[in-house]
Structure 1
Amino acid sequence: MSHATRKRTTMSASWAMSCQSICPRNNAAITVRSTRRARNHGSWKGGWTESDRTLTVLVGFYRTPGHNSNRSYHEGVVRRREHNEMQTEFRIRGEFLRLLHTTGVYAVTDDALRPEELLQTVDALLTGGVRLFQFRDKRRSDRDRVSIASAIADRVHAQGGLMLVNDRADLAVAAGADGAHVGQDDLPAPAARALLGPSRVLGVSASYLPEIGPAEEAGADYIGFGAIFRTDTKADAEHAGLDLLSEACRQARIPVVAIGGITEARIADVIRRGADGVAAVSALFRTDDAAQAAAALLDAVARSRSAEIAESVRRRPKGSPLPFQG
């Protein structure tokens, strides 16, 4: 073997090896405890996915210096396209997790408001910093709901936020929403996931611990757990309470959003019990200054998270890693 041939072969092997060592990772930031969940959840695992592995090996193969196989080249292009499509598919779901971590506040609309009032409040909440919304309307016709949901989605998307539709996965798709949230008495979660496809966010309500596992198996991205406190939105709803919330957060492998009677004063207790975020209706949509209310809730979540981390650091055994070091 000539010196040039040996050099080219060595370069080929090195190139392929270097390509195999590249590991695309999802950058959706979630809380320390949620990182453990995300590693076990679908596309947000912390290591290789099979698509990543196949893609990088083939890309390294068809780009090997001196390799002229048209078939290998086109196989590599196809795999790269499939990988890019997969990354695009799961971008929305990853973005939901990122926004849940960075903001922690999830606004659920009030169907008692007139459409123009609702849109004005959404604009105010966006000004206040809220980026996650759920359109909930149990009064109007499907046609009206799609129209209003589409208008909200346009506003939210323009500010880099996401919007889901409550109860109806079909209306979520029709309105161009980013996903749907279903309850235990709505369309079953597996059917909702089938309608939404793999690209949209699916949230599932739970009030009891046995309801969490099936939701995770159906492909839910988060659990809406509650009602934690008494709420005027669902006056007849049973109260799950803080102790049950704590156990739900311990058991769940996906993020848990606390809902039901959430106020600024109660956020610290909810976050302390392990919730990844809070969802609110009255505290955001039944107030004189929605922008100020949004800012207050966001600040309360941020302060509560900081206090929780500080307390975890204070209580950790001597010599143990910090909570954010895994």
Structure 2
Amino acid sequence: MRCQRENMLLYAVTDRAWVGKQSLPEQVECALRGGVTCVQLREKQLDEQAFFQEALEMKRLCRKYHVPFLIDDNVELAIRCGADGVHVGQSDMNAGKVRSLIGDGMLLGVSVQTVEQALAAQDAGADYLGVGAVFATSTKQDAEAVSHEALRRICAAVQIPVVAIGGIGQGNILELSGTGVDGVAVVSAIFGAEDIESSCRALSALSRKMVGK
């Protein structure tokens, strides 16, 4: 499977910090109805079996809406549940090792912050890159900032799709216009929204405007 640029347009990254009135699967379905084009399941607290069962439910939802489903970091679980792909950071398993484990049939996303990291990830078999934090973010306190100029250089240096992440919402998404990104990865502006579906519709329209579609 190779990454389609249109799948990067509005990339939802889950965070159960906002689970309350709705379960995480219910929140994800609202996001899918609102037009997200990719879903990454990020879990740091669940035990392996609960994570696996949740992943199966998320995969079912994503299949229903014909949207790629990826797992953050946990390569073994991504393979086991039949996810469409896996996303790893610089401190996770090496991208080349991940590619050797998942084969050519699954998507591989890699988080990068520099042109050097971007080129290394592309050479190791990454299908797309996540670049950030492009704005200050409350969901990942240790995230280092990436300037818009650095983002522009990364986009120009690689042939694979690039998605921006970090503090992105309706109020600043258009500031990324002209950087070359193919879309945005969003956490709190989706899952922290009062009306997730409506928020996603607005974010989708802005993301299309940002990339010139």
Contact 1:131 1:156 in 2 (8 A): no
**1:264 maps to 2:182:** no
Q: What secondary structure, in the 3-state scheme, does the structure 1 residue paired with 2:17 have?
A: coil
Alpha-carbon RMSD across the aligned residues, in angstroms, is 1.6
Higher relative contact order (CA 8 A, sep 6+): 2
Partner residue in 2 for 1:201: 107
Q: CA deviation at 1:192?
A: 0.8
Q: Alpha-carbon deviations, 1:230-255, whole Å to 9, x = none? A: 10111121111211111111112211
**1:130 maps to 2:36:** yes
**1:145 maps to 2:40:** no
Partner residue in 2 for 1:108: 13
1:184 and 1:133 map into 2 onto residues whose CA distance is 20
Aligned length: 212
* TM-score, normalised with respect to structure 2: 0.94
Partner residue in 2 for 1:97: 4
Higher gyration radius (CA) = 1
Q: CA deviation at 1:257?
A: 0.5
Q: Name stretches of at least 5 consecutive residues in structure 1 with no aligned partner.
A: 1-89, 310-326
- State percent identity of aligned pairs: 37
Q: Name stretches of at least 5 consecutive residues in structure 2 with no aligned partner.
A: none
Aligned pairs (5 A) from 1:70-85: none
Relative to structure 1, the CA distance from residue 211 to residue 244 in structure 2 (aligned partners, 3 Å threshold; closer, same or farther) is: same
Contact 2:155 2:179 in 1 (8 A): yes
Contact 1:99 1:132 in 2 (8 A): no
Contact 1:111 1:139 in 2 (8 A): no
2:61 and 2:77 map into 1 onto residues whose CA distance is 18
Contact 1:164 1:181 in 2 (8 A): yes
2:77 and 2:17 map into 1 onto residues whose CA distance is 19
Q: CA deviation at 1:131?
A: 2.7
1:98 and 1:223 map into 2 onto residues whose CA distance is 11
What is the identity, as a one-letter code, of the residue corresponding to 2:137? T
Q: CA deviation at 1:291?
A: 0.3
Among 159, 175, 180, the alignment partner of 1:274 is: 180
